[in-house]
Every structure is written in structure tokens, then in C-alpha cells.
Amino acid sequence: MTRALRGIGVSPGVSCAPAFIVRMDFPEVPDRTVRPDQVDAEVARLREAVGYVIEHLGELGQRVLQRAGPEESRIFDAQIEMAKDPDFLASVETLIRNNYLSAETAYEFKALEYRNLFSGAAMLREKIADLNAIQLRMLNRLMGGVGHELWSIPHDEQVIVVAHELSPGLTVQLDREHVVGLISEEGTRTAHAAILAHSLGIPAVMGAAGALAAIPPGMMVLLDGQAGTIVLDPTRDELEEAKTQISRRHRLELQLESVVDSPAVTPGGRPIVLMGNVDLPEEIETAVRMGAQGVGLLRTEFLLTGRTALPTENEQAEYFRRVATAFHGYPVVIRSYDLGGDKFPVGFKAPLEANPFLGWRSIRVCLDEPAVFRPQVRAVLRAAADRDIQLMLPLVTLVEEVELTRAIVEEEAQALRREGIRAAESLPVGVMIETPAAALIADRLAEVSAFFSIGTNDLTQYTLAVDRGNARLADRFTPHHPSIVRQLHQVLQVGREAGIPVSVCGEMASEPLSAVLLLGLGYDRLSVSPPALPLVKWVVRTVPEPAAARAAESALAAASAEEVTESIRSVVGEYVDIRLLDPHSALPGRRRVATLPPGNTAS
């Protein structure tokens, strides 16, 4: 019998509780026809079910609004729009009336048609998950089923939810008082559900292949959301070891608290700029509290979450001002819409593409859709009137993309001036280096860019030809691959020669061992996930520069990712308890720990 599983730690914390299995299985729908005189009744049943599902989704949205906030609750607005899609429902009604199909038979037929259409294009993972959730609710309603709801968890129990896949819509419904851990067979650190689990403070492990087959309902499970380990039916010794590990991490957290207000300087006195990555509005306060020196990556995609229309220029300008005001005296780098892949808003007509992550996305969408891009540029210019705000372009592969954007910035600045609207005269426009193409032409991009920021998530994905959302390939997705290390070194050298700042804003900057490697390569600007800021600062203040340089030198000469990782670990281990700094784990911060049997609480 399997007693241990390994996955990807995506949200830190240790918890032990019985397993609660969530299966999103579609009911078996029989091929049923009705008499002509029953057609109107079937159409009425269909409409009743739609109304029920829409009402139910609205109720879930209100619960999430109270528990997590308005941004997370917007996902249900998107689901409601999907549920009442007039074209889809009209096609279902046509099947009922013309083919005399029952409501559930007609609905399933069209649902399968839509799912196959999207799945065949291999696109929009998160949207497909939401679409599946709606179809499951509809079929359950039409067939008289209830289906699994997380709200059915007994209120006197704590459980660890186990599922094949955790969609964002499922994750944001979790009751944090009773759901103390998450396990899914699919997903990675960069999945939307993983980000939400971290935001909600629930320990989570994703990419745990075979979890549903190995874990029966009610089995006691010990989960470590930092290390990515799952122990089934843990022994007393294993529980004691978990408590020891928790105690060790707790001592580290006490040390981290002492460095939050301290400057980020190396033992030799070299200052390091530690900025924050901000994805959701609630992360603003966390980044400020953790001592972020501005925002190195302000993602704007949350403005699209759950919306049926793009946000207005005024809405965007107001949000950008809010962020810049929170970081008064520090720069805020706003990334233009990173649309495409799995991030198209509901109201945006996305194309069907065989390889959407290699297709029409990011700066390509923005430049092709001036009605989308120009209002955002205007909003950034308005917010930058008396604030230090910069614009960053994602997925740049052509010098022309930067030149076209700079021309748009100039045109919109002139237009705002003619309209008498207060705005900045211009903007620093920088580039995200996140493809091998951009790294190879960095010298040319430097001629037209105000700064570089390296997005290591996509740089790793595109360099290694590894889908970062594929749990099966998670072991191959590593920024410690020698090809990534060499590109990091080369781009920094190009930036220095051109006299422009170069920073790292990808996940790599938030991992303590990787941060040491970056310092050793010569980086002095990192943009970090807010909860990771104290740990990265502590490592900066602890590991001497010569040691970091030694690790980087070994990494540049390494032939494999394993050699790179070991070179860093061997050096850092001279100064830090290496057991606390797993380069592939989530980081201490926002930790939540459940009761460990027999009644002891870890903290």
C-alpha cells in the first residue's frame, strides 16, 4: 500500500486531517426523446434549471465576497455569464424543439460539443474548468441530482480536500475554518487555483499523481504544503517529525520578524532593492507591511477577472493611483495586459488556437487591439502625473513592438494634453525578458528600453519547451537549468553595458536559494512575492557576497540543473540551515496549520 505521495508545494503550511474526496464526475445522461406535446415542458425545465444555477452561483459569489473579497468573487460573475449565454441556450432549445430531445440530453449534447471545441484547441484551462462546473450543475439539476458541494462538510470537522483538479471557482468557495488542506492530482505552482489557495492561507499540494486512487474518504492525511509531501495514515513518529519541522520553521519566522524593518543589505554592505509583485489589491497592504521598496510587477489581469467587459480608463487610472499612493516615494512598474493563453476576459472574443501560449497573447494582443491597449496607456499616463510609475511590456520578441508602444505612449500623452487632462508628459517603457528571442537580442532591445525585468516563469517555459501548467513535467520545469542561468548572466551584462536597470520579477526571485544565485550573478534588484520578502531579505543579510559569487560561478560552469542546485546548497549551507530553504517549495508566510493528532496544535 502506498504510504507517501509527492507533489508540488504551492501554499505553505502543515496540516493533518481526514480526507474529504471531491469528485466532479458528470452524471450519465441517457439518450431520451419526448413527444411533440412535451417539447414546451422540456424547454421550461431547461429555463428553470438555468435560473436555479444562476441564483446558486450568485449565492456562492456573495459567500466568497464575504470571505475573500470582491476580486475573488468576480469569478462567479463570469460563470453566470457563461450559464446564461443566449447563443448556447438557443442552440439547446433548437435541439429540443427540432429533434424532440429531453432537456438534459440536448444540454449534454451541446455541452460536449463546446468542450470538445475548446479542448481540441488546447486552450483556456481555467475557463474550461469553469465551463465544466456550470455544465455539471445544470445536468445535476435537470436530472434531480445534488452533486458535491464543499458546504456539505460537517461544521464540527476539519478536513483535507482531495480532488482531481481544483478550479479557481472551486478553490475560492473553501471554508477556511474547516478545510485545512488541499490536494489535487493536476496543477502547478503557477496555476490560478494555487495562487488563490496561497491567498486564502490554505496549505496545498498540487500535481500529486494518483492521489484519488491512493486516498480513500476519511483516511488521515499529513500534508506539508511547503515541501510538497503527503503522508497517508501517518505514524506517531511521523507526526512527531512534522512537529519538529514546524518548530524549526517557527524559529525561522521569529528571525524573519526581526528583519522586516531592517535594510536589505548584504553582510558586506551592498544595498539590494527588494520590490514586491502585486497580483491582487489585497496584496498591496501585505507588500507594504513586509517592507517592499515599491512594486516591480503590478499585474493588471485581475481587472478582467469575472468581467463581461473591459475596465474603463477611469477605473484603471484610479487603481494605479491607489497602488502608487501606497508606495509613495518608490517606483511602481505596471505590466500591460498579459492577455492570451488562459487569460481572456469573458466578453473578449478569443481566437481558437492549437497552441495559445505560442500564439496571440500579451503585447501582440495589445498592439493589435488599440481599443484595449490605448485606454490602459492613457490610464497609466494619468496616474503617473505626479507619481513614479513605469510601463512594462510582456512577451516582447521584436524591437518593433517596443517602438510601436513608445509611439502610442507619445500619441496618447499629446491627446491628453490637448484634452486638458492632467497626465505625465511621457513614461519610461521597459521590457520583460521572458523568451530566448528577447534574451538573444537584448542588446538591440536595450537601445529602445528604459529597463529590463526578467520573467523567469515564462523564460523557463519557453527555453526548456516545458508547459509550466503540466504537472507531469513539473520536475523538468526548473529555473536552475544551465541555459536559464546563462541567459540571466548574459542579459545582466547587456543591461550594465547599456546603462539600464535589470531586475528579476519571476518566481525565481521569491525562492531563497535562487535569490542567492541571482545576487551572486550580480543582480541588485529583485521583485518578490510579498509573503516571501522577509525570508529573501534575511538571506540577503546572512549570506556573504563572496559566497554567493562562488555559487554563481559554479552554476555557470554546471552541466545540469542538479549541479546548479547543489552548488547553491553547498555554499548557502555554510551559513543557513539548508533544510528550511528548499528551492522548489513555497515560502514561509501566510501559513495555516491544522490540529495535529492527538490534539496538539502546531504554530
State the catalytic residue, choosing from 198, 366, 505, 584: 505
Q: How far apart are CA 312 and CA 152, in angstroms?
A: 39
Cβ neighbour number for residue 45 with a 10 Å cutoff? 18
φ and ψ at 570, to 5 degrees? -65, -35
Q: 586, 225 in Cβ contact below 8 A?
A: yes
Q: How far apart are CA 345 and CA 350, in angstroms?
A: 9
Q: Which residue has the cell 477556511?
A: 176
State the catalytic residue, choosing from 178, 192, 198, 584: 192
Q: How far apart are CA 342 and CA 330, in angstroms?
A: 32
Q: Verify whether residue 192 is a known catalytic residue.
A: yes
Three state DSSP letters for 401-450: HHHHHHHHHHHHHHHHHHCCCCCCCCCCEEEEECCHHHHHCHHHHHCCCC
Q: How far apart are CA 187 and CA 548, in angstroms?
A: 32
Contacts of residue 330, defined as CB under 8 A and 6 or more positions apart, other chains included, come to 275, 292, 293, 294, 295, 388
Q: How far apart are CA 359 and CA 549, in angstroms?
A: 38
Q: What is the DSSP string of 547-564?
A: HHHHHHHHHHH-SSHHHH
Q: 391, 429 in Cβ contact below 8 A?
A: yes
> What is the chain's Cα-based Rg?
25
- Reported in sequence order, the residue ranges of 12-60 that DSSP labels E, i.e. its strands, are 14-22
Describe the chain by its helix, strand, coil percentages, rounded to 5.
50, 15, 35
Cβ neighbour number for residue 410 with a 10 Å cutoff? 14
Computed from CA positions of residues 356, 467, 376, 349, in that sequence, does the dihedral angle turn out positive or negative?
positive
Residues with a catalytic annotation lie at 192, 505
